Amino acid sequence: MFSIEDELKKLPDKPGVYIMHDASDAIIYIGKAVSLKRRVRQYFQKSRNKGPKIEKMVTHIASFEYIITDSELEALVLECNLIKEHRPKYNTMLKDDKSYPYIKVTVGEAYPRIMLSRDMKKDKSRYFGPYTSSDSVRETIELLSKLYKIRTCNRVLPRDIGKERACLNYHIDRCNAPCNGNVSEEEYKESISHAIDFLGGNYSGVLKLVEDRMKAYAEELEFEKAAEYRELLSHVKSVAQKQKMEDTGGEDKDVIAMAGGENEAVVQVFFVRDGRLIGREHFYLKVPESDDESNILQDFVKQYYAGTPFIPSHIMMQKEIEDREIVEDWLGKKRGRPVHIVVPKKGAKEKLVELAAKNAKLVLEQDKERIKREEGRTIGALKEIQDILGLDKLKRVEAYDISNTSGYESVGSMIVYEKGKPARSDYRKFKIKTVVGSDDYASMREVLTRRFEHGKRELDELSNNGMDEELGRFVKFPDLIMMDGGRGQVNIALEVLGKLGLNIPVCGMVKDDHHRTRGLYFNNVELPIDTSSEGFKLITRIQDEAHRFAIEYHRSLRGKGQVHSILDDIKGIGKTRRRALMKAFESLESIKNAGVDELAEVEGMNAKAAQAVYDFFHVDQSSSSVEETSSQERN
């Protein structure tokens, strides 16, 4: 179990992004912090006034995770990217999907312009950013225009040279008016080159130019002009921060780094899509003591990309791998285009790899206890149940439940747990058609019979025709069947298995007078179980999940109008007569046991309709075929 109190103690006093999850593991809030330690703790301090929205959000937090960064600015941009990717429920302040600004230089034009852009397009322009302040971007563009006389108009040059008079910017000395032919293309592009140098990180030239002009105006006692340049200087320094969480190349990259411990390692993968870091994932590996980082990373790359559908154009690695050329060729063929594996040696890319390594180390150091707890509540819990029942192996468990409403057809559910975790792709659901009324035992007999008869047919087909096992919907048999009840339910299951010649252990989840599980019924003996143990908690989860799945299926069918009264199948009985019958008799069983005369006395009924109802329940009905539906089809 994730312990918020314990995890709060482990928070680092570093900038980063925190991600809040609810009980279903959905992301409900993403935020940034100068100090993750201080910021995240504030959410859980009762004394703080957090406002109604945050107060409500906190009640839904079941767990949280975080990504450390090197600065608050990096955290801000990463927060924006993650919010745009995941759209958490409680990040309402970003509902307008605002993006951060870039500075765009239209170098594909003969007389380029410098402008603010909210998007990075794959055109002939160069982009710088993103930046966190639109005002600073505008001030910087204004500064560059003022210093280098860069045009801001939309005229197509050189086509429109001399066609119109120069605009106001020429008259206030903000533009050299290339539209009138006052400056050559070569001279103009030299000015653009200086501006690009500044935007690319070479600030010294511009800073010196601005400082020199500021001092010159001050010496000439033009203090207003000097103050203007002093203000511009401040904006230049503000917007000149490089943002290494963004890559202006706009490419898709995976950034891979690792941290290792004793016989274990964590590999961190950052996902950069279209130049933006949109998320990350970490993977736990068991490694030999003698293995080095290069071999671990190489093995990871081979295993990871063998199973993932998306392969980026670039993979940035922490270490060189021995089979780089072979792996590149293999990935390139899978992708259909070249793939490059690189180890950055300097600059923002190297720092991004270092950041992935820092996060891997943090996960390795702080998640050891969580991993142990997770194994305890899954594999460890299954081992407890295995020991209680005295079984040799226990990996796959199936549990069943029946849901019905008086007068409506029943449905059955089959849920599967493997290694202590739900295997939802193997869930199955059944419509009960051969049982009239609320007979849970008979309904369960039908469900189990159909499930294992179907499974045996698939196994026969597999052995005779070589059917792919993955295509079989019932081909996997469980190591244990858990029935939601005691002796009666267990005996039903054993009866079905005996008729089909199957030997599968069956136990019942016995409940007390308060409908709480108290033990397991196995081999005609009720076995006690420690209610505080992980094994008991797993049994409860299995029981609740089987019940939930059955109820959910029944409710969904009713919502679609697919669950109907048994009476709807009787010729001559419509909605009005059905309601009258259900109102006159306590249950469907009472209707079934009523005579023709008694049925005819119901309001709206006549002799013919009464005879039809009586015949329906007393004349043999042919069983209609029933369909099993997988959870994959459900979705």
Q: What band does 388 get if pLDDT is binned at 50, 70 and 90?
A: very high
Q: What 8-state DSSP symbol labels residue 89? A: T
> Cα separation of 58 and 49, whole Å?
12
SS3 545: helix
Q: What band does 398 get if pLDDT is binned at 50, 70 and 90?
A: very high
As a whole number, mean pLDDT of residues 216-224 equals 87
pLDDT score recorded for residue 98: 41
Q: What 8-state DSSP symbol labels residue 547? A: H
> At a CB cut-off of 8 Å and minimum separation 6, what does 95 contact?
none
Q: What band does 207 get if pLDDT is binned at 50, 70 and 90?
A: confident
DSSP string, 352-421: HHHHHHHHHHHHHHHSHHHHHHHHIIIIIHHHHHHHHHT-S---EEEEEEEE--TTB--EEEEEEEETTE
Among 345, 370, 216, residue whose Cα is nearest residue 284: 370
pLDDT score recorded for residue 94: 30
As a whole number, mean pLDDT of residues 283-308 equals 77
% the chain with pLDDT above 70:
81
Question: What confidence tens digit (pLDDT) does each residue in 438-472 have?
Answer: 788 888 999 999 999 989 888 887 777 655 444 55
Tell me the two tokens of residue 556: 């969904």
Question: What's the mean per-residue pLDDT of the chain?
Answer: 80
pLDDT score recorded for residue 465: 65
Enumerate long-range contacts of 169-173, CB under 8 Å, 24 or more apart: 169/145, 173/149
Helix (H) / strand (E) containing 266: strand 264-273
Of 206-210, 230-234, 281-285, 378-382, which has the strongest mean pLDDT?
378-382
Q: How far apart are the first and last CA of the chain?
A: 28
* Ramachandran region, residue 252 (left: φ > 0; alpha: ψ -120 to 50; beta: rest): beta
Enumerate long-range contacts of 491-497, CB under 8 Å, 24 or more apart: 492/441, 492/444, 492/445, 492/448, 493/444, 493/448, 495/445, 496/445, 496/448, 496/449, 496/452, 497/448, 497/452
As a whole number, mean pLDDT of residues 60-89 equals 82
Q: Find the range with the poorest average confidence among 37-46, 400-409, 506-515, 552-561.
A: 552-561
Q: Is the pLDDT of residue 243 over 60?
A: no
Question: What confidence tens digit (pLDDT) does each residue in 248-278 have?
Answer: 455 789 999 999 877 778 889 888 876 767 6
Q: Is the pLDDT of residue 528 over 70?
A: yes
As a whole number, mean pLDDT of residues 4-20 equals 92
pLDDT score recorded for residue 12: 92
SS3 238: helix
Burial level of 83, CB count in 10 A (0-12/13-18/19+)? Answer: buried
% the chain with pLDDT above 90:
22
pLDDT score recorded for residue 283: 82
User: From residue 333, how far is each of 35, 55, 313, 326, 346 by CA, in Å?
Assistant: 44, 51, 12, 11, 29
> Cα separation of 16 and 69, whole Å?
5
> Cα separation of 404 and 557, whole Å?
12
Question: What confidence tens digit (pLDDT) does each residue in 617-635 have?
Answer: 776 443 333 333 333 333 3
pLDDT score recorded for residue 201: 64
pLDDT score recorded for residue 557: 63
As a whole number, mean pLDDT of residues 330-351 equals 88
- Higher-pLDDT residue of 454, 587: 454
- Higher-pLDDT residue of 334, 344: 344
pLDDT score recorded for residue 330: 85
Q: What band does 478 get if pLDDT is binned at 50, 70 and 90?
A: very high
Q: Is the pLDDT of residue 234 over 50?
A: yes
Q: Is the pLDDT of residue 370 over 80?
A: no
Among 397, 400, 403, residue whose Cα is nearest residue 416: 397
pLDDT score recorded for residue 622: 35
As a whole number, mean pLDDT of residues 16-35 equals 90
> Cα separation of 601 and 609, whole Å?
11
What length does the chain have?
Answer: 635
Q: Is the pLDDT of residue 496 over 80?
A: yes
pLDDT score recorded for residue 632: 36
Starting at the earlier edge strand, list the strands of the sheet with 276-286.
Answer: 276-286, 264-273, 253-261, 314-317, 340-342
> Cα separation of 166 and 613, whole Å?
94
As a whole number, mean pLDDT of residues 491-518 equals 88
Q: Find the range with the poorest average confidence among 32-36, 136-140, 486-490.
A: 136-140
Q: Is the pLDDT of residue 558 over 70?
A: no
Q: Are strands 428-431 and 480-483 parallel, antiparallel or unpaired?
A: unpaired
Q: What band does 512 get if pLDDT is binned at 50, 70 and 90?
A: confident
Among 132, 22, 35, 12, residue whose Cα is nearest residue 86: 22
Among 133, 171, 128, residue whose Cα is nearest residue 149: 171
Q: Is the pLDDT of residue 9 over 70?
A: yes
Helix (H) / strand (E) containing 506: strand 506-511
Question: What confidence tens digit (pLDDT) does each residue in 92-134 have?
Answer: 443 334 455 778 999 989 999 999 887 767 678 888 765 656 7
